Amino acid sequence: MNDLREEWVFLETAWRFAFLLTGCREGTSKVFKDSVDELLRHPHPGDLDRVKQLLFAVVRRRSLNFPARCELQGTPAKLHELSEPGRSALALLYLDALPAADILRVLNIDERLLPETIDKARSALREKRAIIS
Amino acid sequence: MNSRSARQILLCRRPGGEDDSDPAMKRAMAVAAREVALAEEFEKQSAFDRACASDLETISLDENSRAQIEEGARAFAAKHGGARARIGKHATFAVGIGFLLLVGLLVWMFLGRAGTFPDEAVKIAITGAKATPTQFDPVEEKADALQDWFMLKGFDNFRVPPEFAQFDVVGVRIFTVDNEPVAQVAVPDNLMYFYCFPSQPLGIKVVPEGSWRITESDRSVLAIREESGMCFLVAFRGSKKDMKSLLENAGALR
């Protein structure tokens, strides 16, 4: 995506986020398209940060409703197997999608719970990676 | 900052170091540098996170996904650039808001006779009625589809009763009353405003929970209900009879 302007790179990140949650390209394609369409109906005059947050929130909501099947391999596949909301939190962190303060809003969880949520998910992923390595 | 607080912050650090310039993160890293156990844990975490982030970068994009992303970027760019200009072109929106402002003015003029209606709710209606059309962001959504929009504006608990979920909305905004945020929604049907706000900080209590309290002032009417700490207020031009009819038709009166 070298020709994608820097301000829109988050769309590529959102696509990867959807892939990690749905586990398949078919689901990712549908979730991404529907999410973009939904977001285009929202007002977001001149505030890209708000657009980013909302896109990740919508992508997550739609992805969790999609019947998942896993075409992923390696670490992405192991991350896909984690439970929510730790899976989404860790995916957003590793994709460098958003800072922690914004991840809170996307996941709609209490500020105090995010470190614990990430810690548990990270430990679970470490165990799963240890099995495949 | 103690070791425990520092650990909580470090657990949420992005592996590429994008958060390292954040003052809290800097302090947390300084604490970690002084404490061996925390430093070891942080180092281990950072190495693991970098490896995982690197693995996630291997997710490949095929031709279709690239095209989809580029199409999305074009659509956002078009909307991003044209959003403000579109407000002026939205004749329906402007006319709708104009009517609503008239209704709001009437509500404002006659609110002195609101009787036992919660005073703070009256205050909210007065403040809301003073809004100018340019203070609203235009939307074309159902009322129950606005939760994300308000969430990203910093208003986390926007909700409408299920009976009001399917009303079309043409404008939305957030304002404050006594430093408390209030969500305001312009509804063209029946020329109404919906308001949503937290009850406790404003000292409002509508009991029993879920019941409606209605007040009438000349040709304007307000109805309020409270549920799970949030109030929902409806205001439009009409009488108590009109409000009861609206609530009955919506299925909100049982």
Q: What was the ipTM of the complex prediction?
A: 0.90
B-contacting residues of A 85-114, CB under 8 Å?
90-91, 93-96, 99-100, 103, 105, 108, 114
How far apart are the CA of B243 and the nearest CA of chain A, in angstroms? 30
pLDDT reading at B86 higher than 50: no
| Cβ-based neighbours of B100, under 8 Å, separated by 6 or more | B186, B191, B192, B193
pLDDT for position B105: 57
Pull the structure tokens for residue B205: 């209590």
CB contact under 8 A, B16 and A95: no
Residue of A94, A102, A106, A129 best to disrupt the B interface, most CBs of B under 10 A: A94
Four-residue CA torsion sign, A68, A73, A76, A80? positive
Tell me: the pLDDT tens digits for B211-235?
Answer: 899 987 666 789 999 988 899 999 8
Contact of B225 with B206, CB cutoff 8 Å? yes
Chain B residues with CB-CB distance to A42 below 8 A: 139, 141, 148-149
**pLDDT tens digits, one per residue of A58-101:** 899 899 988 878 999 999 999 999 999 999 999 999 999 999 98
pTM (global) more than 0.90: no
Nearest chain B alpha carbon to A97: B14
State the DSSP H helix or E strand holding residue A50, giving kind and residue range, or none if neither.
helix A48-65
Q: Do A4 and B11 touch (CB under 8 A)?
A: no
Percent of chain B with pLDDT over 70: 83
CA distances from residue A43 to A8, B91, B148, B231 in whole angstroms, order as listed: 17, 17, 11, 24
Beta-carbon contacts of residue A102 (< 8 Å; ≥ 6 apart): A49, A52, A53
- A77 close to B (CB below 8 A): no
